[in-house]
């Protein structure tokens, strides 16, 4: 013989603590839960992205510190002047362009160190090499 289990209602008609009917409870709680269910995953994905950015930045930061400590902090721009056939000195256009590029880099990214300057100049050299072969 089975004993009937008492039926437990999820939302009783009136809750003693709040004095809300089921309809009022649904009208108040469900919109809040709907907003939270949309808001929470967005925040979690943002936190996951933030964690990845911090992890990659810390690796990059540690490498930068190591390189800056063990290498010279200067970057070679190239010869400032070139001599013509008659012995006059003129500004080297290639070096002036490299210096202008580094100045622009410093203006756009004031935190750029000599490592970023070296990477910029490597790209400058690669672009120059590619333009000469084309």
Backbone angles phi, psi at 110, to 5 degrees: -60, -20
Q: How far apart are CA 66 and CA 119, in angstroms?
A: 16
Q: What is the pLDDT of residues 63-111, one digit of tens each?
A: 777 777 776 667 888 888 888 888 888 888 889 999 999 999 999 988 8
Measure the CA dihedral 25/31/33/36, to 10°.
-150
Measure the CA dihedral 71/74/79/80, to 10°.
180
**pTM of the predicted model over 0.85:** no
**In the structure encoding, which two tokens stand for residue 27, read together?**
């009208």
> Which pLDDT does position 126 carry in this prediction?
92
> Which pLDDT does position 10 carry in this prediction?
55
> Which pLDDT does position 14 carry in this prediction?
47
């Amino acid at each position: 013989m089975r004993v009937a289990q008492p039926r437990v209602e999820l939302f009783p008609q009136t809750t003693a603590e709040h004095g809300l009917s089921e309809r009022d409870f649904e009208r108040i709680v469900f919109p809040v839960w709907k907003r939270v269910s949309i808001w929470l995953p967005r925040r979690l994905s943002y936190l996951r992205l933030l964690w990845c950015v911090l992890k990659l930045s810390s690796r990059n930061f540690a490498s930068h510190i190591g390189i800056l400590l063990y290498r010279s902090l200067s970057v070679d721009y190239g010869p400032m002047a070139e001599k013509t056939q008659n012995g006059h000195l003129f500004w080297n256009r290639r070096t002036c362009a490299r210096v202008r590029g580094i100045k622009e880099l410093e203006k756009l990214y004031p935190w750029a160190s000599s490592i970023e300057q070296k990477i910029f100049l490597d790209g400058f050299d690669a672009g120059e090499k590619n333009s000469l072969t084309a």
